[in-house]
């Protein structure tokens, strides 16, 4: 089961402070993006996932490519590193089964380039004028 963004931040802060809750409470890194959330409480508005993304970019040398290729799967922030919630992805996949987006293949075995399949109907693609 995946952690919530807030619990992921808390677990990261504990990791940073050698699993010492007192050290997390006394953390001197006030410039850390997790500082306001280190005690497992959301104290300000804004998206926690964006805060996690900011930290991941810092860890990944400031590049989105490095964050995308991150291989630290045991990091508590790993699931949120791309700036999206894995829970939302699961909900989207449940609501939009893959077979609805399958490409239509004609009798010749070739994909029909003039149409794309959505749901049970065929919708013409935009033609260049």
Diameter of the chain measured on Cα atoms = 69
Q: Helix, strand or coil for residue 118?
A: strand
Adjacent-strand bridge partners of 118:
121
Q: Are residues 104 and 85 in the same domain?
A: no
Per-residue pLDDT tens over the stretch 38-66: 888 887 777 888 889 988 988 888 888 99
In angstroms, the CA 7 to CA 10 distance is: 5
> For the CA atoms of the chain, what is the radius of gyration?
21
Q: Are residues 43 and 103 in the same domain?
A: no
DSSP assignment of 83-115, as one string?
A: SS-HHHHHHHHHHS-GGGGPPPB-TTS-B-TTE
Full residue range of the structural domain in which residue 18 is found = 5-89
Q: Are residues 85 and 28 in the same domain?
A: yes
In angstroms, the CA 92 to CA 6 distance is: 22
* Segments of the chain with pLDDT less than 50: 112-121, 129
Q: Are residues 25 and 78 in the same domain?
A: yes
Is 27 in contact with 35 (CB distance < 8 Å)?
A: yes
Q: Are residues 60 and 112 in the same domain?
A: no
pLDDT at position 13: 94
Q: Report pTM.
A: 0.64
Count of domains forming the chain = 2
Q: Are residues 76 and 100 in the same domain?
A: no
């Amino acid at each position: 089961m995946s952690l919530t963004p807030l619990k992921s931040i808390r677990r990261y802060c504990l990791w940073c402070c050698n699993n010492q809750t007192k050290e997390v409470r006394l953390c001197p890194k006030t410039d850390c993006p997790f500082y306001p959330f280190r005690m497992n409480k959301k104290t300000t508005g804004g998206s926690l996932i964006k805060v996690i993304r900011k930290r991941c970019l810092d860890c990944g040398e400031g590049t989105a490519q490095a964050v995308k290729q991150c291989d630290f799967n045991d990091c508590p922030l790993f699931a949120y590193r791309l700036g999206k919630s894995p829970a939302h992805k699961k909900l989207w996949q449940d609501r939009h089964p893959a077979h609805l987006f399958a490409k239509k293949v004609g009798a010749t075995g070739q994909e029909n380039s003039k149409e794309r399949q959505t749901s049970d109907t065929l919708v013409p693609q935009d033609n260049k004028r």
